[in-house]
Amino acid sequence: MQVKTNVSLAAEQNAPVPGAITVDRVPQGLHKGCPVHQLREELRRVGLRPTRQRISLGWLLFAKGDRHVTAEMLYEEATRARVPVSLATVYNTLHQFTEAGLLRELAVDGSKTYFDTNMSDHHHFFIEGDDDLMDIPASGLTVAQLPEVPEGMEVARVEVIVRLRRKA
């Protein structure tokens, strides 16, 4: 017997996921309120097979616009949406999406990894104690000087995380 989830039912009908908020920013090739066939096409375009689990997790990730999630946060959302996935599958999918260029991985504190759906050049505020990330537009920060790069290497991108804490 196959269990149908809110996400898989919406996907079959090319309808929005119940309770999902659609906004303007989703990965290249996708747009606000895009039907699931476009998510399937985007996964194929980046070399990933559009499995039910990838489609379901993709809807959960991208239907809400720019956001920062951990694997645990996405796993909890999937559980609430009755998407039958393991935490290991969520981790694997996030890493596959990152390698395919659909997400950006941000390591914070060495022990916590966030995945960012916003692929534009930008930086982040990290609010200590709340474990929350906020975007800083690239134009809102200037890096004056970078160190000399070793021979044969080039700078791929510069990411700055500004750590904040609440005033006492």
Same domain, yes or no: 53 and 29: yes
Q: What is the pLDDT of residues 19-56, one digit of tens each?
A: 333 333 334 444 445 567 788 999 999 999 999 999 99
| CATH number of the structural domain spanning residue 39 | 1.10.10.10
Same domain, yes or no: 99 and 155: no
**Backbone phi and psi for residue 94, each to the nearest 5 degrees, phi listed first:** -60, -40
Return the minimum-mean-pLDDT range out of 6-15, 18-27, 28-37, 97-106: 18-27
Strands 132-137 vs 122-127: parallel, antiparallel or unpaired: antiparallel
Whether 11 is covered by a domain: the verdict is: yes
Same domain, yes or no: 63 and 142: no
Taking CA atoms, 38 is separated from 18, 45, 84, 95, 127, in Å, by 18, 10, 22, 21, 35
Same domain, yes or no: 43 and 77: yes
Q: What is the domain extent for residue 127? A: 120-164
Taking the C-alpha atoms of residue 65 and residue 32, their distance in angstroms, rounded to an integer, is 8
Domain count, the chain: 2
Q: Please enumerate, as own/partner, the contacts of 156-159 that have beta carbons within 8 Å and a separation of 24 or more.
A: 157/121, 159/106, 159/123, 159/124
Whether 112 is covered by a domain: the verdict is: no
The pTM (predicted TM-score) of the whole model is 0.74
